[in-house]
Amino acid sequence: MEELKETEISCPYCGEFISVLVDPGEVGQQYIEDCQVCCKPIVFVISEDAMGRLLVSVQSEDDA
């Protein structure tokens, strides 16, 4: 079982920093989770860089 990785993102709506847990098995996927501050749906896109490190980018639902 792969370990969840804690990462910090900035909400595309309100700009607040939020800690989220990302499953390394979700690389290449995207999912929606509501912002803990403004409750708007944030689109998380999970990817990996050339070094195999987990990258998380976020978008507003309108951009997705």
Binding residues for Zn ion, rule: CB under 5 A, are 11, 13-14, 35, 37-38
Q: How far is the CB of 33 from Zn ion (least distance, A)?
A: 11
Nearer to Zn ion, 15 or 52 (CB): 15
Nearer to Zn ion, 20 or 35 (CB): 35
24 with 3: CB under 8 angstroms?
A: yes
Q: How far is the CB of 3 from Zn ion (least distance, A)?
A: 26
Write out the two tokens for 47. Answer: 């990817």
Q: How far is CA 60 from CA 1, 2, 8, 39, in A?
A: 30, 28, 16, 12
CA 52 to chain centre: 17
Nearer to Zn ion, 11 or 20 (CB): 11
